[in-house]
Amino acid sequence: MARYLLKRLLSAVVTIWVTTIAVVLLIHLVPGDPVKIMFAQSQSTTPEQLETVRHNLGLDRPIYEQYAIYMSRVLHGDFGHTIRGDQPILPLLLGRLPYTLALALSSLLVATVIGLGLGFLAAYKRGTALDSLCMVLAIGGVSVPVFWLGQILILVFAVRLSWFQVAGSDWRSLILPALTLGVTNAAVVARLTRSTMIDIFNQDYIRTAWAKGLPARTVLSRHALRAGLVPIVTILGLQFTYTMGGAVIVENVFSWNGIGRLAVQAIFQRDYPLIQGFILTFACLVALVSLAMDVLYAVLDPRIVHV
């Protein structure tokens, strides 16, 4: 068990390390002069100012020195400053992060409840009309573009019916975005859960459980669900990363102030230091969640622990 966790930890560290390399290299992949592009939209910068910026970002040094500088700064918590407004990046990101997490977690909750429920039901009633209905709903949910669904929900519920608000920062404004993201996510979860549970329901040990005369609720919960926990947790873990990605779009549709909205603005403004900070933060977050998932597997699957 300890070896397993150590391996996973190493994996996470490597991923983050590679991210830092990629982040530093990113600026150099820009076709043309990155500093000029960063300031392309403001007319009044002088060449001297550009040179100062170039020097501050370390772009006039060789690559490995740049990397060393960047890494030492990052490890001290200094992610640099935004080009526009000269704000310190890390506090800015950390300030917005809770909003994104709130959105991601609440939509994940919606997705889990609806998706697991639908998927489980469809698998148990496989081949019946109920199964087909669930799957039609699911494939519809997967095909609908998130931004379109969000816009329609705004139109119907916020504008026409005035049930919900948008563009605020409190939990009431979170409902619609969480539902939007959650519903599309639920469709994916439902499909994956259904195929996982169908596989499990076909397993011999489920038949053994029935043969013992156990009631349906016991077979479903103690045997099927428990055996399905590991693949289901995998599905949910993947959904977290998927949700983080979807959050970027949803935040823009609903003007929700998370890091996703920040990232898009940064890309528009070519604010490369901010973009770098965003990528690093995002990747770290995803790596941490993956690690947490791996720990959860070890707890749930006795075959990993009791070798």
Partner 1 sequence: MSESFPVEELPAALAPLPPAAALRPGPVRRIGSFLLRNPGGVIGATIVLCLVLSAVLAPIIAPYDPLHMGAGRRLTPPSPAHPFGTDEFGRDLLSRVIYGSRLTLQIGLIAVSISLGTGLLVGLVGGYSGGWVERILMRGTDVLFSFTDTLIALAAVAVLGPSLTNAMIAVGIAAIPYYARVTYGVVLVEKSKPYFDAAVAAGAGHLRIIFVHLLPNVIPPLIVVASLGVSAAVLAAAGLSFLGLGAQPPSPEWGAMLASGRDYFTRASWIMTFPGLAIALSVLGFNLLGDALREALDPRQRRR
Partner 2 sequence: MTGATRSSARPVLAVERLRTEFSTKAGLAVAVDDVSFELREAETLAIVGESGSGKSVTALSILGLLPPVTARVAGGTVRFGGRDLLSLDRSQLQDVRGAQIAMIFQDPMTSLNPVLTIGRQLTEAVVRHEHLDPRAATARAVEMLARVQIPEPAWQIGRYPHQLSGGMRQRVMIAMALSCRPKVLIADEPTTALDVTVQAQILDLMSTLQEEFGTAIILITHDMGVVAEMSDRVIVMYAGRKVEEGDTVTLFDNPCHPYTRGLLKARPRITATFGPGRSRLQEIPGVVPPLTRLPPGCRFAPRCALRVEHCREQPSLDEKAPGQRAECWESHRMQAESTA
Return residues touching partner 2 (CB under 8 A). 126-128, 203-205, 207-216, 218, 222-223, 226-227, 229-230, 300-303, 306
Of 12-20, 75-83, 92-100, 165-173, the window that binds partner 1 (rule: CB under 8 A) is 12-20
Q: How far is the CB of 124 from partner 1 (least distance, A)?
A: 18
Q: How far is the CB of 245 from partner 1 (least distance, A)?
A: 3
Residues found in the chain: 307
301 binds, among partner 2, partner 1, none (CB under 5 to 8 A by kind): partner 2
What are the phi and psi torsion angles at 262 (to 5°)? -60, -45
What are the phi and psi torsion angles at 81 (to 5°)? -125, 150
Q: How far is the CB of 220 from partner 2 (least distance, A)?
A: 13
For residues 264 and 270, give the distance between their C-alpha atoms in angstroms, rounded to a whole number.
Answer: 10
Beta strand extents in 205-299 (DSSP E only): none
Of 28-36, 107-115, 173-181, 221-229, the window that binds partner 1 (rule: CB under 8 A) is 28-36
- Is residue 291 near partner 1 by the rule CB under 8 A? no
Q: How far is the CB of 250 from partner 2 (least distance, A)?
A: 36
Tokens of 158: 């916020």
- Is residue 249 near partner 1 by the rule CB under 8 A? yes
Residue 253: how many other CB atoms lie within 10 Å: 21
Name residues whose C-beta falls within 8 Å of residue 188's C-beta, 6 or more positions apart in sequence: 111, 115, 138, 141, 142, 239, 242
Residue 240: how many other CB atoms lie within 10 Å: 20
Q: For residues 122-151, which are near partner 1 according to CB under 8 A?
A: 139-140, 142-148, 151
223 binds, among partner 2, partner 1, none (CB under 5 to 8 A by kind): partner 2
